[in-house]
Chain A
Amino acid sequence: MKNNEATIDRNQKMKSAGAARTRSMTLIYVFLILGGILMVFPFVWMILTSLKTNAEAMMIPPTFFPVAASFASFTEALTSLPFPRLYWNTALLIIFRVLCAVAFSSMAGFAFAKLEFKGKNILFSLVLIQMMLPSQIFIIPQYKMLAAMGMTNTIFALVFPGLVSAFGTFFLRQAYLGIPDEIIEAAYLDGCNTWQVFTRVLFPLTKGPVAAISIFTAVFAYTDLMWPLIANTDLNMMTLSSGLSTLNGQFTTNYPVLMAGSLLSMLPMVILYLVFQKQFIEGIAMTGGK
């Protein structure tokens, strides 16, 4: 008898919990969809603009749908810019910056979080200082260095400012701080030296944050406009974002072409993100955290 009551009780609790969960799930869907529309709207606008003529795109008040949709702007964008080269340059830029950021920042993040050495805090404050500085003050000094090395107009030039990542160091330090010391001690007891502790035990535990930093660095590199423009003068050595900016006339910009160009640039990034996502985030789910 008592068992039955307990069962009924628990069944009722689970039913109301189930109802509550459905309610909260609906709420979540509503919020995500509304927010999603807001996120996507400008993107939709870009697509519609790219299909219009320039006159239509600049119309006051703006029209929503194009009168006669045409892909002319895409053709013009494709012929105005050497897209294959721009993709390649941007890809190399991103790959190198991500590799550097992940490698150097993981090492530094680990060291700042888990190792003891003199002057640690002062050196870490250098990382913080970099994050506080506005990037405009770096451009001319960095360009001077690059020119002195004779490395302008190269892929190296594009990567140069991103050889090290202060934010990456900061972010990964947080990740390493969250790893319990017991794991490290256990690894030492197993006979690992510090490098092995880092590469075999700790680094693999930071897959999630590393993925986040990779995405973050990739996007930052991709949207960087001012630096690639200044470092590389040859259009063939530019990135997507800086190459796009050359489409701006001084007084009149052909907006449909600019939008078409922007869309062509965005596509690979979105695909890249989805691929990255699957690799790392689902990898986490399987290892199940700690």
Chain B
Amino acid sequence: MKKKSKINSGASWGYAFIAPTIIGLCALNIWPFIETIILSFSKAHKFGAATFTGLDNYVRMFSSMEFWQATWNSVYFCILTVPVGVFLALLVAIMLNSRIKAKMTFRAIYFLPMVVAPAAVAMVWKWLFNANYGIINVVFHAHIDWLTNPNLAIVSCAIVAIWSAIGYDAVLLLSGLQNVPKSLYEAASLDGASKLQQFFHITLPMTSPTLFVVIIMRLMASLKVYDLLYMMISESNPALLNTQSLMYLFYRESFVIGNKGYGSAIVIWTVFLIGAVTALQFWGQKKWVNYDV
């Protein structure tokens, strides 16, 4: 239940505080967004003027099998990475917050994936997953086509995505966890609450604001995924059709083929999708996110 803030400081303070950020956002980000919207209704190549073509791009987009497949791929990727990823990150954050020894060492270890160069990450994971010579298949005496099976490739990429993100998310969640006073836990223990009960009744509600942010961020990032897929799945990979995300398609259309109008339409659709998911989250936050202390 949000209490109406009793601060009456005059609207000018509010505007002054948000001015740098909002001005920056408008110039750097919102303007390109508007340009993209306009472009999505035109036909434009790399160089040269854009000609207005109305809904042509959208019609073409919505009747493309490849496009719908890419939409599903992005959504599926999101489903694979967000719940598992955030849950694992929360687990890790809780553990890193507990009374373990060598806290610094563990934190540094879980932080490492955040700073490993993406090229190195791709190289290592591609080797791990290699169907013929990869360590995973060798150790388990299997011949699973991790990266070339159309049904499996996206799952493999999701695993890499979760691996990369746990460090990020755990750091953010840690900051939320540390704001929970230890006294609450102590009181609960004395009252006989089990660790699990403490988790659900203290930890979760008190870190829900931070958790909310992390979930939103992961949802957005997974629906926008491109770099990871680009590095893990080559153009000649038979699994490409079932793995390529909307942004992958956008990059190909806008930068490789040079069809900026069509590419922009894909972007607008993606933003719409993300917007819908985000709106859902914001509506849902009333049910479980707790801002009161």
A and B, direct touch (CB closer than 8 Å): yes
Interface residues of A (CB under 8 A from B): 17, 24-25, 28-29, 31-32, 35-36, 38-43, 45-46, 49, 60-62, 103-105, 107-108, 110-112, 114-118, 120, 123, 126-134, 136-138, 141-142, 145, 160-161, 163-167, 169-171, 174-175, 177-181, 184-185, 188, 193-195, 198, 208-209, 211-212, 215-216, 219, 222-223, 225, 241, 244-245, 248, 255, 258-259, 262, 265-266, 269-270, 273-274, 277-278, 281, 284-285, 288-290
Closest 7 CB pairs of A and B: A164-B24, A117-B14, A61-B133, A111-B17, A117-B11, A212-B175, A42-B124
The contact of A116 among B11, B167, B274, by CB within 8 Å, is B11
| A82, B107: Cα distance in complex, Å | 31
The interface residues of chain B lying within 8 Å CB-to-CB of A208 are 174-176, 178-179
The interface residues of chain B lying within 8 Å CB-to-CB of A179 are 293
Taking a contact as CB atoms under 8 Å apart, the answer to whether B116 and A110 are in contact is no
The contact of B209 among A117, A174, A241, by CB within 8 Å, is A174
Taking a contact as CB atoms under 8 Å apart, the answer to whether B172 and A216 are in contact is yes
The interface residues of chain A lying within 8 Å CB-to-CB of B55 are none
| A170, B32: Cα distance in complex, Å | 21
The interface residues of chain B lying within 8 Å CB-to-CB of A123 are 18, 22
Taking a contact as CB atoms under 8 Å apart, the answer to whether B250 and A185 are in contact is no
The interface residues of chain A lying within 8 Å CB-to-CB of B250 are 134, 136
A157 to chain B, nearest CB (A): 13
Taking a contact as CB atoms under 8 Å apart, the answer to whether A116 and B20 are in contact is no
B9 to chain A, nearest CB (A): 4
Q: Which chain B residues (17-75) contact chain A, with CB distance < 8 Å?
A: 17-18, 20-33, 35-36
Which has the most chain B C-beta neighbours within 10 Å: A123, A179, A241, A244? A123
* B291 interfacial by beta-carbon distance below 8 Å: yes
Taking a contact as CB atoms under 8 Å apart, the answer to whether A194 and B9 are in contact is yes
* B195 interfacial by beta-carbon distance below 8 Å: yes
Contact (A28, B98) CB under 8 Å given A105-B21, A108-B17, A141-B32:
yes
Taking a contact as CB atoms under 8 Å apart, the answer to whether A39 and B110 are in contact is yes
A-B residue pairs in contact (CB < 8 Å), sample of 28: A28-B100, A32-B95, A42-B120, A45-B127, A46-B116, A116-B14, A117-B15, A126-B30, A132-B274, A134-B226, A142-B32, A164-B21, A166-B25, A180-B292, A185-B7, A209-B175, A212-B174, A215-B171, A216-B171, A219-B114, A223-B115, A262-B116, A262-B117, A277-B107, A281-B178, A289-B180, A290-B181, A290-B293
The interface residues of chain A lying within 8 Å CB-to-CB of B132 are 60-61
Least CB separation from B270: chain A residue: A134
| A38, B123: Cα distance in complex, Å | 15
Least CB separation from A164: chain B residue: B24
| A123, B32: Cα distance in complex, Å | 17
Taking a contact as CB atoms under 8 Å apart, the answer to whether B178 and A166 are in contact is no
Which of B78-86, B147-155, B212-220, B234-242 lies on the face that meets chain A?
B212-220
Taking a contact as CB atoms under 8 Å apart, the answer to whether A289 and B5 are in contact is no
| A45, B135: Cα distance in complex, Å | 12
| A255, B3: Cα distance in complex, Å | 58
Taking a contact as CB atoms under 8 Å apart, the answer to whether B7 and A111 are in contact is no
Least CB separation from A142: chain B residue: B28
* B257 interfacial by beta-carbon distance below 8 Å: no
Interface residues of B (CB under 8 A from A): 3, 5-11, 13-15, 17-18, 20-33, 35-36, 91-92, 95-96, 98-100, 104, 106-121, 123-125, 127, 130, 132-133, 135, 138, 163, 166-168, 171-172, 174-176, 178-181, 189, 195, 209-210, 212-213, 216-217, 220, 224, 226, 247, 250-251, 254-255, 264, 267, 270-271, 274-275, 278, 291-293
Taking a contact as CB atoms under 8 Å apart, the answer to whether A42 and B7 are in contact is no
Taking a contact as CB atoms under 8 Å apart, the answer to whether B24 and A178 are in contact is no
Least CB separation from A183: chain B residue: B293
B20 to chain A, nearest CB (A): 5
Taking a contact as CB atoms under 8 Å apart, the answer to whether B5 and A181 are in contact is yes
The interface residues of chain B lying within 8 Å CB-to-CB of A17 are 189
The contact of B115 among A103, A142, A216, A222, by CB within 8 Å, is A222
Taking a contact as CB atoms under 8 Å apart, the answer to whether A134 and B293 are in contact is no
List 12 extra interface pairs beyond A31-B95, A107-B20, CB under 8 A: A29-B100, A111-B17, A114-B5, A164-B24, A170-B213, A174-B212, A185-B7, A211-B175, A241-B117, A258-B119, A274-B104, A284-B178
Contact (A164, B17) CB under 8 Å given A131-B220, A174-B213, A266-B117:
no
Taking a contact as CB atoms under 8 Å apart, the answer to whether A42 and B25 are in contact is no
A111 to chain B, nearest CB (A): 4
Contact (A270, B112) CB under 8 Å given A32-B95, A136-B226:
yes
